[in-house]
Structure 1
């Protein structure tokens, strides 16, 4: 039976192959012709567009060179529009999208957007205005639909005036007229030429209307009208020119012969297939039955869920392989058994018997129930059982179908998660910090530990109160939403989640406590962005900081008194000179007055010298009194030169006692500092006094005892400031002690108390400055020491944020 069938099929295949081959050859030739004519039409349209573009660009260059005024522009625009049918309008638009002047063809559809002085909308022509302005090149807009249903293009030609954007010349091109006058007549005569957009919509021309075709033409390999489309340069892909060609009518005789051969072949095939139908049906039924049986058996054996069937009396009538693998019992051992079943643990007979009665009577829970199952080896695992009635083909219930899933691992994970959550809550409840988590701008409190509940209760009021008191914590603005969906869903929140926690110190009047508040954003378990607040009670720390601040002020005053005590002999010697001069001047004047040998001019001169010596002595006493007077730190806008003069005047007294020469190098036009001048003078005096003692310790000869004070402006980390450098040629600081010189009660001097440099550093850092020290070397030998103090200028100090009670950074400045 297969021989005749194969012969007929081969004959029909040969006929179809020949017909398809010759048809495709005709299609290929027609395709080449259509493509060539399409390229020709595209070239003619492109040349016409480039001519119009060049004419508009000449107008733009004349406007850029101020060779045209409004009247001349209108005249030239009118001349171009009337000469070229595709030009519908020419307008001059200034940089502010306002129409300066122009001309519109009388045949064009009037448009309100081109009135004189009219400001074009920001979204006019789909952004072509902005593109032309940014690129400084001619730009074509996408096709625009006019009021009469026609389509047009806008050509934006920008121009510059004094190297700045001066506006644009806008030409409106009619796509219908461009197609009519731009495509050669011989192409229009042979084809249906249209202008389309990228979606295939017709912009100009008429598309080919499909006419009646022969039944043969509806076959997949039949010839159809050829068409080809190319993008219209320089407009781009938004406008394409499409050419469609008509195909000549097919030879009816060839079609009749084809259908005759096809009918004869179909009749032969029908007769051959009729003999095979009965046998094939029988084989198909047999194969379908075998396949269905194998499929059901394979499906049952491949399931990971255990299946068990009970009859209406509660006996097992079926179990699948998964059920046997789970329990370890074979199907032969289970089928036909009644309760209690072999896979029931003995300790749970009562519970499982109650569940079986619910199953048989139809009272089983729809969500299933958990039950322990015993394997054949005696081990126990937990399973979830789902029960449903078993209905046969006639719609009658014949039993109950139960499915069993091993949930030992999920149950273990659930218990571990519950234990982990209990540990997590226990740890957080034992903390001394109040922790709360809430979504942004929501009335829901997701989590609060015990300390939070003790302070603020169970509601969200405490969380909102903390945010209200802490202005330094960033809070995202609220948005009006109509549903219950997180309005921040979908936004990139990684930067917020990965950011470092914000810190702030606030006072809560309701609690009477100072709290350190830390906040950060988290991604909650349901994907929402939430804010976590951690509040720590720092009331004791604040009190300790206040006490430490008070002790530091007292230590600074004591340090100044100690310094003056150490300099007492030098000050006494310094005061002795003006007092001795005053005594000598007074004795001399008394003697000469008694002898009558003094003139009024000489007496006046002697009195003036006496007054100057008295003023000098009083100035020294006032400086000492101001230096040792106890007062609260009071930062003021201070002059650097005055502070340096006051400090060096007192320090020079002590240095001269040790035969040390002080050289001061001070730059001009130093910026003012927002500091407490007395404290800064104390730092400079202490450093200068230490330098003199270091030189004395080194035993330098009198001619080589030199201390230098250099005051210059210095910029550090982008901030302006003033740098004070105290340099000596003393014995320096032992390298192993260089890191400890700022420790409290640590001193390299035998009689030192160890509070001078500690106070100096605290004073400098309280003014947001830096203090550093380094040894000076002559080869491998220490030849002196250099202390550097940098203080920010008044404006830089004002811009620096308050440290909120914490100490400022004390890193040494570079160099």
Structure 2
């Protein structure tokens, strides 16, 4: 293809055509009537168009009238449905065994009377009126027409016990439902099937609109035999009353002349605009290719420009940001004051030249960390008109830095715990000798008292308990030391119920301080289990102590603690081959509960819900239970708090070669055992 030849100098591409038309018109002097005829024809065509437009407007107004009527009918139906739901909830929660005066004290009744209801009537199963709220006002004496809602009442055994009937005024319903703009445009009222007015809150009076400017729509089933009627306030005036033909002809003539004179100039403007659009498209493509967010603000701080990268960063579209002034939608709600102070500093020209870090919030609520650089924005004349900002997303970098810091802290914490384990093992070794001495001294004192003849029984009993407790402490220290040195538990046939009682006896003072009575739910004829008594007592002790700590903030009258022991039974964890071969112990409390945390999260090492906790108590409990081939679980308790459970194998039920693996243990169940 050959390139197009340039136009001759001082000659535009359309000049020959314009000259031909000019010569043709100049040579035909008898065509003076052509503009007049064209004007008349144009005026007639406009008149026809106006007539058709009036008809189209009338149809459009009728469609809009029907649409508004359907919309208002939906709002009224929804409002009546909401009131019915409120009444159903009131009837469902209402206790029919109460006195009639209790109806007026119901919060839903008070809210309904302040909102829409005129009265609430309680009718028993024999259709006798039990109570009316407000009291002392005859329902028949209330002014105006009314509508009714009803809901069935049932007694404590689920049998029908009457109904609650609510009386409300349709006029009040209309006043509360009709939007102001709809009332400004239409006369809205309710009529019955005979055309009689049921409710006319806006006093439309006897105004009767033409059929094409009014519409009725049934409110069935929300309001039986009731119609919603909408009528237009103003009628559509015909076109000949709105547009003088002579003035329109003169105007069209002036427009024709002006169009002919401006045509050439418009062509030049269009060519200039095309060049500007091309340049703007180039600039937009370059800005969209950037990964750095850009924003421009005027001297008042109003956003005047954002690029695509900035919108992707904050999650808002350009239409939501352009023209937005402070506070910005991406500022953190809890740091508005800090963001405003930085904004005022930047508007005063005090932004750091090396940039500064800040935290914003995306539209979806996710926080992001950014690095922001500000620079003055000047126009072509060098006048300062605002500020241009470049924004980098440093959220991932900050997250990596936080992860590295957390890993460093975790490693330091783990090192401290390792050292603590070594110290505990050494301490347990050192405590064995003094505990043995205490046991020996207690036994010696007891024998000396018995030899003295008729000793005080209280002293003998005290020395006996002293020796027993010292021996028990020695066993506990020995087992803990063995556990810390990674030895297997010393299993023996033991009574789980007795071990639980011994563990709670050690916490007797703490339970009395909390005014907490322990409920026991122990099934009959429970077998013994194969376990280490000392370690199992420590597990029960830890679970009960955790429950007590959780109930410190609970009122004393609401504190409850239950220890349940039964066979694992039907609620064993899937995967166990024989759930009957396990006993289950549950500890239920009335504390705040798990608060959405799973058992895996609670037993994670170093995780603790206590400010001074080490995060190892539950983790050690779980390791002890799994070392006994049992399962450890946590769930919602029967008192509204938490339930911690574990299972242990029944003595003799599992041969040592057939003990289930840790991942297939029976899980603690969540039902109560009476």
**Higher RCO structure (Cα 8 Å, ≥6 apart):** 2
**Greater Cα radius of gyration, structure 1 or 2:** 1
TM-score higher than 0.5 here?
A: no
Higher strand share: 1
